[in-house]
Copies of this chain bind each other. A is one copy, B any other.
Amino acid sequence: MALIVHKYGGTSMGSTERIRNVARRVAKWARAGHQMIVVPSAMSGETNRLLGLAKELSPSLASQAFHRELDALAATGEQASSALLAIALQAEGMPAVSYAGWQVTIRTNSAYTKARIESIDDQRVKADLDAGRVVIITGFQGVDETGNVTTLGRGGSDTSAVAIAAAMKAKECLIYTDVDGVYTTDPRVVPEARRLATVSFEEMLEMASLGSKVLQIRSVEFAGKYKVPLRVLSSFTPWDIDINEEAKSGTLISFEEDENMEQAVVSGIAFNRDEAKISVLGVPDTPGIAYQILGAVADANIEVDMIIQNVSHEGKTDFSFTVHRNDFARSMDLLKAKVGPALGAKEIIGDAKICKVSIVGIGMRSHVGVASNMFRSLSEEGINIQMISTSEIKTSVVIDEKYMELAVRALHKTFDLDQPSS
């Protein structure tokens, strides 16, 4: 008898009919002898409906007090869907109980709308599991030290599920979603994209952070930190499919390096066009210059992704980085008005019409020439590379956004991702 965590996204919980199917699927797992914890998202559309009401009342607030209320408001969506799932399970004859984050307790810090889980108390949940009940725990939310409701931010239910699986020492955390696994790249861009049966934790981390929308990145970090085996699979298979078949479906995010030894050098191609690049040109190449630029950006609560500084000429250097497109205008204003003049920068230039394309693969560690293969492939398509950034298991380039699909398709072919890997 193993302890298993299931997480269901908003689409899977989108109607009473779908909730009933989730209940039947969970009951099937419980009847097969597993102890079951289920983490549901809010019914699809519900979180947006609630936040829409808040926006009607207050288009412009941004205070801590306002974010506190937004969290209290948004958290009700998961509380309702959790209670509904408990009711659906009970209607299937399966004992079940639902808990909000504060009831478990799932303790977070007080960073409203993007809180981080600090601890999870397993006592109450354990007692229920031992009593034969399915335990449903609201995703997306927790409670801070002084008893305020917090939320983990969009997609936070994945993180909740993994954190709960880690705290409860679950055998596996199954993330049921509307895709049936992790692909070599987005099948909408490359029809030949293949589903990966397994992907390493490190690869998944790079792919999630680079824009594959399957899993929230923080949940992958959590899974990595606590070595929680994570499986992404479809909630749209019939609920009564054979449980052994279901248990092997989707993509397993693995922590066993050995398993991946024989895998392809590159596992996937990630991409996004959510970013914009900014260059601060001709600043003095003195110690602390990076901090003076990026510190000001961070103080304005703007997150920076790629950062590049090349060698200097005549005591001057150029400094480039990318930010989310939503923060582009604000970043440019900040740099032009304050940071640039203060540093005596020659020029501040920016471009929002870019995209980032990355190849990701744990095999890159032991294979040389992978990056140069990437650059060759892009050059053969006549695509100019604007920025390059590398890490142990990924290489990212920034290119003109109009070439995004072309680049992804070319790289997918170059690295033989359309061929089965085993």
Residues of A whose CB lies within 8 Å of any CB of B are 16, 19-20, 23, 50, 53-54, 56-58, 60-61, 63, 65-66, 68-70, 72-73, 75-77, 79-80, 82-84, 86-88, 90-91, 95-98, 100, 102-103, 147-149
Which residues of the other chain, B, contact A88 by a CB distance below 8 angstroms? 57-58
Taking A58-B91, A76-B79 as known contacts, 20 extra A-B pairs with beta carbons closer than 8 A to each other, sorted by chain A number, are A16-B56, A54-B83, A54-B84, A58-B90, A61-B91, A63-B90, A66-B87, A68-B97, A69-B83, A69-B86, A69-B97, A70-B83, A73-B79, A73-B84, A76-B76, A76-B80, A76-B83, A79-B79, A102-B102, A103-B147
Q: Among B50, B72, B79, point to the contact of A82 (Cβ < 8 A).
A: B72
Instruction: List 26 interface pairs A-B (beta carbons < 8 Å), by A numbering.
Output: A16-B53, A23-B57, A50-B80, A54-B87, A57-B88, A58-B90, A60-B91, A61-B87, A61-B90, A65-B90, A65-B97, A66-B87, A66-B90, A69-B86, A69-B90, A69-B96, A70-B87, A72-B79, A72-B86, A73-B83, A73-B84, A73-B87, A79-B79, A102-B102, A103-B147, A103-B148
Q: In the complex, A102 Cα to B100 Cα: how many Å? A: 11
Q: In the complex, A100 Cα to B71 Cα: how many Å? A: 12
Which residues of the other chain, B, contact A98 by a CB distance below 8 angstroms? 69, 72
Known: A68-B97, A72-B100. A87 touches B57 (CB 8 A): yes
Which residues of the other chain, B, contact A149 by a CB distance below 8 angstroms? 100
Which residues of the other chain, B, contact A65 by a CB distance below 8 angstroms? 86, 90, 95-97
A87 & B69 in contact (Cβ 8 Å cutoff)? yes
Q: In the complex, A60 Cα to B90 Cα: how many Å? A: 11
Which residues of the other chain, B, contact A95 by a CB distance below 8 angstroms? 65
Q: How far is the CB of A380 from chain B (nearest CB, A)?
A: 54
Which residues of the other chain, B, contact A80 by a CB distance below 8 angstroms? 50, 53, 73, 76
Residue of B nearest to A60 (CB): B91
Q: How far is the CB of A54 from chain B (nearest CB, A)?
A: 5
Q: In the complex, A102 Cα to B50 Cα: how many Å? A: 21
Q: In the complex, A88 Cα to B54 Cα: how many Å? A: 8
Q: Among B19, B68, B77, point to the contact of A57 (Cβ < 8 A).
A: B19
Known: A76-B79, A79-B76, A82-B72. A87 touches B103 (CB 8 A): no
Q: How far is the CB of A224 from chain B (nearest CB, A)?
A: 32
Q: In the complex, A147 Cα to B147 Cα: how many Å? A: 13
Q: How far is the CB of A274 from chain B (nearest CB, A)?
A: 28
Q: In the complex, A70 Cα to B73 Cα: how many Å? A: 19
Q: Among B57, B63, B83, point to the contact of A72 (Cβ < 8 A).
A: B83
Q: Among B19, B57, B68, B82, point to the contact of A91 (Cβ < 8 A).
A: B57
Which residues of the other chain, B, contact A68 by a CB distance below 8 angstroms? 97
Which residues of the other chain, B, contact A54 by a CB distance below 8 angstroms? 83-84, 87
Q: In the complex, A86 Cα to B16 Cα: how many Å? A: 31
